[in-house]
Amino acid sequence: MGVHAQQEMADILGHREGKVSETPSSLGYRMPAEWEKHAGTWISWPKDPNTFPSGILPRVEAAYVEMVRALAEGEEVRILVDDEKGEARARSQLRRVEQASYLRVRTVDVWVRDYGPTCVRGKDIALVRWRFNAWGNKYDDLLPDDRSGDALARETGWRVFRPGIVLEGGSIDVDGTGRVMTTEQCLLNPNRNPDLGRAELEGALKENLGADEVVWLKSGIEGDDTDGHIDDIARFVGGRAVAAAVEDQIGDPNHEPLSENLRLLEGHRGDFEVHRIPMPPRMATVDGRLPASHLNFYIGNDAVLVPTFGGSSDRVALKELEGAFPSRSIVGVDCRALVYGLGTLHCVTQQIPAL
């Protein structure tokens, strides 16, 4: 058994016995803000027919091409593929993109933000491997992606911390200086960690992300099968600034929940500068509303990738984020096909911080 495998087994056994005292926080690790320097970005190339049927998949791949080309201007994009066939498919779409590499890590679906490891930085880079249960055991066919997260962690060779807690990367956002933001609807949902209360979960976030304050919002948007992920409704965008989704149409089901979240942010000791970003027009299929949101943007080294949906809110969102990130290019990516899978740009990316 190799050194990293031994550490992994020791962490697992130690947590089972309640003996682990070393945490990322105790060893000086913290989760950097997304706008801090990246060494690269992980994505998983789309292929699951249950998520993206054959009539939609080419449009999803087109969005991936836009995304990878924009990110590759400033960082390496590390693309997860199942096998030689999967790599050939991705390469055929990404001709002449030099800052892309391919990792043979088998996955079921694209949501690496949620099943992949969370990177923390200290004297080196380490990983926090939360457990993934397909958003409260909603999708049995996606449960194997918990093992995909383990495989990706092993591929890095970095130290891995295992809190033994169910948590998805899209449910948290950090400012890099001690604050982590999340929602009660998701983290306190009994379909994740039924034996843990608010205080225990706060402690886990602080110990594993190097945070000293948890900012709790209430709930997420209609159509979000993740039970209120923060990356659809509010994001740190630098310093004291937060971007927040708003829905001005009073009859819309998102109006009151987003208004309540906005009140919490604006009333948070008066120390947040809030950028209001409108929700896009309602999008739906026969199965119900899709969770379209401009807040599901991804901050790369040189570019901020922003989901667009072909409505009037696109222009407003791009302009507002241009003001929040004046040193980066703001790149709109058409996500009308990608959101069919119930997520967009932030959901399919995971940053790898630079030392």
For residue 335, indicate whether it is catalytic. Answer: no
Query: SS3 string of the chain?
Result: CCHHHHHHHHHHHHHHHCCCCCCCCCCCCECCCCCCCEEEEEEECCCCCCCCCCCCHHHHHHHHHHHHHHHCCCCEEEEEECCHHHHHHHHHHCCCCCCEEEEECCCCCCCHHHHCCEEEECCCEEEECCECCHHHHCCHHHCCHHHHHHHHHHHHCCCEECCCCECCHHHCEECCCCEEEEEHHHHCCCCCCCCCCHHHHHHHHHHHHCCCEEEEECCCCCCCCCCCCHHHCEEEEECCEEEEEECCCCCCCCHHHHHHHHHHHHCCCCCCEEEEEECCCCCEECCEECCCCCCCCEECCCEEEEEECCCCHHHHHHHHHHHHCCCCEEEEEECCCHHHHCCCCCCCEEEEECC
Of the residues 119, 186, 335, 347, only one is catalytic, namely 347
Catalytic residues, by residue number, are 347
